[in-house]
A = this chain, B = another copy of it.
Amino acid sequence: MRTGQKPGERYVRIVRPHAREFRRSPEGHIVATERVLEPRGPVGRLWTRVKRLVIGPPLSTAQSIHERIPKVKALAVFASDALSSSAYATEEILLALVLAGSAALTYTIPVTVAIVVLLAIVATAYRQTINKYPAGGGSYIVTRDNLGDVPALIAASSLLIGYVLTVAVSISAGVAAITSAVPSLHGFQTHLAVFFIVFMTFANLRGVRESANIFTVPTYLFVASMLLMFAVAAVKLLVFGDLPQAEATALSVVEPLSLFLLLRAFSSGCAALTGTEAISDGVPAFQEPQAKYAATTLLWMAVITGVLFSGISLLAFAYGVVPGHGETVVSQIARLTFGTGPLYYFVQAATMGILVLAANTAFADFPRLSFFLARDGFLPRQFSFRGDRLAYSTGIVALGLLSTTLVIVFSADTHALIPLYAAGVFISFTCSQASMWTRWRRRHEPGWQRGIIINGVGAVTTGLVAIVVAATKFTQGAWMILAIIPLVVLVLYFIHHHYQRVAEQLVLDPKRVQLPRPAGKPIVIVPVPGLHLGVLPALDFARAISESVTAVHVTDDLEGAHRLRQQWEEWDQDVPLVIIESPFRSLIHPLLAYIEARQQDEPNRMVMVVLPEFVPKNWWEWVLHNQSALRLKATLFFHPNTVVANVPYHLKR
């Protein structure tokens, strides 16, 4: 720092006090006010207006509020994913069993029981995580903390893929609820699904600050509608002694009932467990005492999910519902219970509502996980930037694009997507549980004996289920997930490696590295397309920064070159003109070779290329200009020791 100056003084000189866009901070730096965001020019104004309309006015970082939400709302926010999966889990079990004919549907009940037991184990295990990671214990964080980078990346990839699938599956299932109720919408499933995803992407770019309230209503409506459905069915059974039966369908036996088929039905039903992790990830959002409340909420979530899922499975069995015919199982049950009246439509609407909300949780989780990954250098930095509305825009847009692709590729068919779904989820469960087990074993914190058993059982169970799911669903799509996870891990690892390598190369020790004495003036080369007013600012600027300026004209038109030389000599300024004939019509290559020749001539001086560029009055006129300049810049960018500057000539009309 120059002597005799206080930190603040210099800025008075640098920024005029009446620059309304800035104010001074007490620490000596300057603070940009909201005024700097004011758009410039008509296009900027239009863009800003559209942006404000779609995603709202910008929020300052200080406005980011760490909302604390009470238990009742928290259940709604975090449980929508888990609860909603009961809307399709039973159907997936039936779809697997039905291959062995109607008689096999009897096994719905034992399979459901097995899954509910699994749910109890996983929920119990995750309560441990909540206690130990009150600041948020997603699989990635817990695994990185205990098992290191590679397992953490496996967990992270499984989760990232899982979130994309959550959106695709939930939205597809939600659309199926609609098309079940309104059959005339059949054939538009993909369109509807894409529409919902696009809508949600924008909603999340706005930032869903009021999320807790938005979530509460549909979640409890869904729970209420399901419980009502169970009650009505129970009353019917008690009063009439039996239940109406679904239309009997002649079922052909496609494959014999086998242990493998039962395991596949079990794997399909495991979709019910997705979303169980959400609460352990979101502990900081709870009111104090956070860990306790979060653990209670998790318990409630598991109980309600278990009840809804078993209830639907029981009713499906009792009604003799067979999946298919373009109508969901829940829709069939609701129709048999309520008839096709207002209550039926209410159930369908509530189902649709909670499924869309479930997708929305992925829109919170995916960007947050990408932020963690970007912060740790595993994803490009853009994922850690927050947009105007404090949302992690890059992650939101990435999730929107990926899930849209998935929905289009799989034509919004829930049943086609499910086999991809559970494998990733259980891999991340396993990583998380194994990490907790390792933690207990290493640290011997109070209660470690109990913890080691709970999380040990959790790890072994979820690991086994992961294997069962992968094996029984392998040919139906799980192989894709098993192929993609290592690929994503590799990409994340590579990005990390790259950032690290760059950081190592860049370390600057302020004590030892000095700026060199100011270097000599650069050699300046000004490529000129001709002699017209557009090149004057470039030549002018070039002469301002160096006395060694050469104008270069590359051409294959010798007559034109001759004319230019005459004009140039007539003009008679002190800038020499070099004409390079290019018999192969290339503009870039001869110029590059010329720059290199000059550089070899004077290896210690920098070469600077000053490009005259047209700035048209209207941005869309831009395609009519500067195409060569753009290519030249792209090429020179990879050229060592060359600096490229653009001197704009602003067209007035």
Q: Which A residues are closer than 8 A to B by beta carbons?
A: 1-2, 7, 10-11, 14-16, 19, 21-22, 25, 27, 29-32, 34-37, 40-41, 58-62, 380-382, 385-388, 495, 498-499, 501-502, 505-508, 510-511, 513-516, 518-522, 531-534, 536, 539-541, 543-546, 550, 554, 556, 558, 561-562, 565, 567-576, 578-586, 589-590, 592-594, 596-598, 600-601, 606, 608, 613-616, 619, 621, 623-625, 627, 637-640, 642-648, 650-653
Contacts of A606 in B (CB 8 A): 541, 544
Q: A518-B543, A543-B518 are in contact. Are A579 and B507 (CB under 8 A)?
A: no
Q: Is the CB of B572 within 8 A of A1?
A: yes
Contacts of A639 in B (CB 8 A): 648
Q: A22-B593, A30-B578, A593-B21 are in contact. Are A15 and B598 (CB under 8 A)?
A: yes
Contacts of A511 in B (CB 8 A): 570
Q: Is the CB of A643 within 8 A of B647?
A: yes
From B502, B510, B565, A614 is in contact (CB under 8 Å) with B502
From B7, B41, B580, A32 is in contact (CB under 8 Å) with B580
Q: Specify the chain B residue showing the minimal Cβ separation from A608.
A: B645
Q: Is the CB of B518 within 8 A of A533?
A: no
Q: Is the CB of A579 within 8 A of B30?
A: yes
Q: Is the CB of B515 within 8 A of A541?
A: no
Q: How many Å from the CB of A568 to the closest CB on chain B? A: 8
Q: How many Å from the CB of A615 to the closest CB on chain B? A: 6
Q: A506-B533, A638-B41 are in contact. Are A580 and B30 (CB under 8 A)?
A: yes
Q: A539-B515, A592-B36 are in contact. Are A585 and B544 (CB under 8 A)?
A: no
From B21, B386, B534, B571, A510 is in contact (CB under 8 Å) with B571
Q: Is the CB of A519 within 8 A of B536?
A: no
Complex Cα spacing A515 to B584, Å = 33
Q: Is the CB of A643 within 8 A of B584?
A: no
Contacts of A514 in B (CB 8 A): 573
Contacts of A543 in B (CB 8 A): 515, 518-519
Q: Is the CB of A29 within 8 A of B578?
A: yes
From B14, B565, B640, B653, A648 is in contact (CB under 8 Å) with B640
Complex Cα spacing A297 to B573, Å = 57
Contacts of A585 in B (CB 8 A): 61, 385-388
Q: How many Å from the CB of A344 to the closest CB on chain B? A: 41
Q: Is the CB of A14 within 8 A of B598?
A: yes
Q: How many Å from the CB of A22 to the closest CB on chain B? A: 7
Q: How many Å from the CB of A14 to the closest CB on chain B? A: 6
Complex Cα spacing A31 to B580, Å = 5
Q: Is the CB of A515 within 8 A of B575?
A: yes
Q: Specify the chain B residue showing the minimal Cβ separation from A519.
A: B544
Q: Is the CB of A638 within 8 A of B651?
A: no
Q: Is the CB of B536 within 8 A of A513?
A: yes
Q: A29-B580, A533-B507, A572-B1 are in contact. Are A498 and B621 (CB under 8 A)?
A: yes
Complex Cα spacing A465 to B246, Å = 66
Q: Is the CB of B562 within 8 A of A540?
A: no
Chain B CB within 10 Å, residue with most, of A15, A514, A608: A15
Query: Apart from A22-B594, A498-B621, A518-B540, what are 13 other A-B pairs with CB-CB below 8 Å?
Result: A16-B601, A34-B584, A61-B556, A495-B624, A501-B651, A502-B625, A508-B531, A515-B536, A515-B543, A519-B540, A608-B645, A639-B648, A640-B648
From B35, B554, B567, A593 is in contact (CB under 8 Å) with B35
Contacts of A615 in B (CB 8 A): 637-638
Complex Cα spacing A444 to B639, Å = 63
Q: Specify the chain B residue showing the minimal Cβ separation from A547.
A: B518
Q: Specify the chain B residue showing the minimal Cβ separation from A574.
A: B2
Q: How many Å from the CB of A599 to the closest CB on chain B? A: 11
Q: A15-B594, A594-B22 are in contact. Are A505 and B522 (CB under 8 A)?
A: no
Q: How many Å from the CB of A574 to the closest CB on chain B? A: 7
Q: Is the CB of B533 within 8 A of A60?
A: no
From B506, B539, B580, B645, A643 is in contact (CB under 8 Å) with B645
Q: Is the CB of B624 within 8 A of A499?
A: yes
Q: Is the CB of B593 within 8 A of A36?
A: yes
Contacts of A498 in B (CB 8 A): 616, 621, 624
Q: How many Å from the CB of A571 to the closest CB on chain B? A: 4
Contacts of A624 in B (CB 8 A): 380-381, 495, 498-499
Q: Is the CB of A584 within 8 A of B58?
A: yes
- Please name 28 pairs of A and B residues whose Cβ atoms are closer than 8 Å in the assembled complex, sorted by A: A1-B576, A7-B565, A14-B576, A15-B597, A16-B600, A16-B601, A19-B597, A22-B597, A35-B593, A36-B593, A37-B586, A61-B583, A380-B624, A381-B627, A506-B534, A508-B533, A508-B536, A510-B531, A510-B571, A513-B533, A513-B571, A515-B574, A519-B540, A519-B543, A519-B544, A637-B646, A640-B650, A643-B647
Q: Is the CB of A29 within 8 A of B561?
A: yes
Contacts of A572 in B (CB 8 A): 1, 510
Q: How many Å from the CB of A618 to the closest CB on chain B? A: 9
Complex Cα spacing A546 to B521, Å = 10
Complex Cα spacing A533 to B508, Å = 5
Q: Specify the chain B residue showing the minimal Cβ separation from A594.
A: B15
Q: Specify the chain B residue showing the minimal Cβ separation from A627.
A: B382
Complex Cα spacing A359 to B382, Å = 47
Complex Cα spacing A72 to B565, Å = 47
Q: Is the CB of A584 within 8 A of B388?
A: yes
